[in-house]
Amino acid sequence: MILAEKITELRKKAGLSQEQLAEAVGVSRQAISKWESAQSIPDMNKILALSKFFNVSTDYLLKDELNESTPTETSGEEPSVDSKGEPLIPVSMDTAAAYLSLARQSAPKVAGAIMLCIFSPIPLIVLVIASAAGWLSLSEDQSSYLGLILLMLMVAVAVAEFISDGFKKKKYEFLEKEPIDTEYGIEGMVKERRAEYESTHTREIITGVLLCVLSCLPIFVTGAFGSWVFHSPVHMSTENPLIATVGIAMLLLLVGAGVFFLVRTSMIWQSFDVLLEEGDYTRTAKRRNREIGGIYWGIVTAGYLLVSFLTKRWDITWVVWPVAGILYGVIS
């Protein structure tokens, strides 16, 4: 029995008209008519809606060879295993759809939190230079402490978002760490959504990379401009510090914006790889990540904080993160 016949049969068994079913799943009567006459097929969201409304499995709707009496539960049977003998965790269509939706929602928040971490040294740099140049009534020590307070507040906001996002994703952790067995129809749905998103992903990757590459330009431009001011007959008391500050601040702003685009689109793209077990989420990669991931990132975080506080060069030490990310890929 094909999908069109199953929809017709289920509707009639429930004693519903096409108009009533259309209202229940949020489509037009003409859409129901086309489904039942096999002129078109519902998308995955409507398949899910039909499954919930008629209380049948998505397997029953999508697999022509199944009927309502065909068992779809696997209780009492041995769980599926991969080639290494590891048990595969079953993943339903509802779980997959919820995971993709959460990834879309959390990606800009996490990317924004990372951007905030990169922006955090800007107040410290500006305050210290402004105080040294005599633009503020604060001493250099006071400016340093105020800058550090603002830096820590910005980092605290970012960390709060990281923790919040971690709690939201906790129930989906197994998707990224354990071998999975996805329900029929999930692979096709994920590939369809990935194809729709591909052009956006490419555009944001290009934008992010260009912003990071061009982030050095403000330093070169302000350096050249500062030299011109220095050799000009115009009196310059405090112009050079201002120019240097603008250059560093602009560098961090461009890097932060570039990283935002890269992280946001990478998190969304990653959610497709997770469900398809591709890229960094193949079953082999998951086994390796379980072994080295926790130790590696703990060492990187400790090293970043130690070097940053000892050198007080927060405007440079952020480089640790993209380098660590690249090295992690090589190590994995």
**Can you list the alpha helix ranges (DSSP code H) found in 14-139?**
18-25, 29-36, 44-54, 58-62, 93-119, 121-132
Structure tokens at 283: 């079953």
Provide the token pair at 132. 């040294």
Please determine, for residue 71, whether its predicted confidence score (pLDDT) is greater than 50: no
For the domain that residue 27 is a member of, what is the CATH number?
Answer: 1.10.260.40
* Average pLDDT taken over every residue of the chain: 80
Please count the helices (runs of H) and the strands (runs of E) in the chain. Answer: 15, 2
Whether 323 maps to a domain, the answer reads no
Q: How many CB atoms sit inside 10 A of residue 332's CB?
A: 14
Give the tens place of pLDDT for each residue, 49-61. Answer: 888 888 888 777 7
3-state SS, residue 188:
helix
Give the CA distances from residue 154 to residues 122, 141, 161, 278, in Å, rounded to whole numbers and listed in that order: 11, 20, 11, 35
Looking at the structure, tell me whether residues 164 and 266 fall in a common domain. yes
Contact between 61 and 93 under an 8 Å Cβ cutoff? The reply is no
Output the pTM of the full model: 0.62
72 in any annotated domain: no
Handedness of CA 70, 75, 78, 79 (dihedral sign): positive
- How many structural domains comprise the chain? 2
pLDDT at 155 over 60: yes
Q: Which of the two residues, 13 and 203, has the higher pLDDT score?
A: 203
Closest CA to 273 of 283, 265, 284, 281: 281
Cα(234)–Cα(231) distance, rounded to whole angstroms? 8
3-state secondary structure 279-296: HHHCHHHHHHHHHHHHHH
Give residue for tokens 């910005």.
154
Does 53 reside within a domain?
yes
Query: d(Cα 183, Cα 83) in Å, to the nearest integer?
Result: 19
Structure tokens that stand for 15 in this block: 């004693």
Quick one: what percent of the chain has pLDDT higher than 90? 23
Structural domain contains residue 158: yes
Place of tokens 């489904």: 35
pLDDT for residue 305: 84
Query: Which residues touch 11 (CB under 8 Å, ≥6 apart)?
Result: 18, 21, 32, 36
- Whether 238 shows a pLDDT value over 50: the answer reads no
Q: Are residues 25 and 145 in the same domain?
A: no
50: in domain: yes
CA atoms within 13 A on the CB side of 45: 8
Task: For 79-116, write each residue's pLDDT tens digit.
Answer: 565 555 667 788 888 888 889 999 999 999 999 999 99
| 314 located within any domain | no
What is the rounded average pLDDT of the residues 212-224?
80
Q: Is the pLDDT of residue 177 over 60?
A: yes
Dihedral, CA of residue 53, residue 57, residue 58 and residue 60, to nearest 10? -110
Among 254, 281, 308, give the residue marking a domain's end: 281
For 181, the domain range is 109-281
Written as one letter, the residue type at 314 is W
pLDDT, tens digit, for every residue of 264-276? 999 999 999 999 9
DSSP for residue 79: P
Same domain membership, residue 263 and residue 176: yes
Q: What is the structure's pLDDT at 111?
A: 94
Same domain flag for 138 and 218: yes
